[in-house]
Amino acid sequence: MAAELDVVNLFFIAGATLAIPILAFLASFLLWPSVLIKVYYWYWRRTLGLQVRYADCGGYRFCYSYRGKPGMRPSILMLHGFSAHKDMWLTVVKYLPKHLHIVCVDMPGHEGTTRTNTEDYSVQGQVRRIHQFVGSIHFNRKAFHLVGTSMGGNVAGVYAACYPSEICSMTLICPDGQHPCETKFDNHLQDLEQSNFTLNIPLIPTTPDEMEDMFKLCSHVRFKIPQQILQGLVDVREPHNAFYEEVFMEIIGEKSRYALQEHLHLITSPLQVIWGKQDQVVDVSGATVIAELVPGCRVDLLDNCGHSVVMEKPCRTAKLILEFIILQQTAKSGTKKSS
């Protein structure tokens, strides 16, 4: 009888042990989905070998994650888009070789990087801050490969024009800027301007339904996201919405909107442009504009892909970036041998 009781107790203890994490997960999913989202990012950073660090410079703090050390290949600096954060690159980093030196930084005011004022949120202001970051961690000891998407693409392009000696090559992913063909987002923007910005900004959702609409606008691929996760994403972003509005008004202003186009003629480093053919935020025709102004620009257009290239085609994006880096290194070493 004692043996049977021991078995029963063992099953009870085992069941309770299993039940606790399951119940904790369900509680987090149903009651605190925002906590679950943060744990998700922590888990993937840890799994991929990324470490989070801070760089302080003149009272300003940058938050960034990194993996690897400088080696034969150029180091890679990755700049995220509007209202995103360094962890948006996790899907791409997953498919990049582990020996590569990669740094993903939170853009000015975003996530763990210091939030100051609108001077830092224009494209030019962000370029100055990113240059400050690069210097603070001595990332520019050797020329590096710069990657930027959307708003980060604008910043990356202007950065390369302003500091050409620091860049060995560059990848711009659907950067904001001039595009001959209008998009669904352009129509939204016109409505916003006509309403004197009293309407909700599609890229700053305040409800789960608006969050879902934003995903539909930014992605050609339709992701099935549970309502609880959508709510969690809203909860994570909601405290920062006033800041996002400030940034949005800066980057659509005349000073920033065409900053990339105004600096394209100054770009001297090899340039790669990646764009989703079904982009509804910044039309793919923008790739042609850039290619015409930058000699030798390589353009990679992705089928069945919208504005969220990093999320929709992470493996393809990583492969294209790595191919381009190797191609430029090979061309450079070939030039040295011939001379």
Among 80, 110, 179, 307, which one carries the catalytic annotation? 307
Name the DSSP letter for residue 308.
-
Judging by DSSP bridges, how do beta strands 60-67 and 102-105 pair with one another? antiparallel
Beta bridge partners of 299: 273
Known active-site residue 186:
no
For the chain, how big is the Rg over CA atoms in Å? 22
Q: Which residues, at least 6 apart from 65, have a Cβ–Cβ distance to it below 8 Å? A: 45, 50, 51, 52, 53, 86, 87, 103, 104
Among 87, 279, 283, 300, which one carries the catalytic annotation? 279
Alpha helices in the chain (DSSP H): 2-31, 33-48, 90-93, 123-136, 151-162, 184-194, 208-218, 227-237, 241-251, 254-257, 259-263, 285-293, 309-312, 314-338
Among 83, 150, 169, 219, which one carries the catalytic annotation? 150
DSSP string covering 14-50, please? HHHHHHHHHHHHHHHHHH-HHHHHHHHHHHHHHHHT-
Q: Which residues, at least 6 apart from 216, have a Cβ–Cβ distance to it below 8 Å? A: 222
Instruction: Specify the 3-state DSSP secondary structure of 84.
Output: coil
Known active-site residue 87:
no
How close are the terminal C-alpha atoms of the chain, in Å? 89
Judging by DSSP bridges, how do beta strands 60-67 and 167-173 pair with one another? unpaired
Q: At 242, list the tokens.
A: 């006033």
**Positive or negative torsion for Cα 138, 140, 141, 146:** positive
Q: Outline where DSSP puts E strands in 94-143.
A: 102-105
| Cα distance between residue 314 and residue 318, in whole Å | 6
Instruction: Specify the 3-state DSSP secondary structure of 230.
Output: helix
Known active-site residue 300:
no
Q: At 15, list the tokens.
A: 């069941």
Measured from the Cβ of residue 323, the count of other Cβ atoms closer than 10 Å reads 13
Instruction: Specify the 3-state DSSP secondary structure of 172.
Output: strand
Active site residues: 150, 279, 307
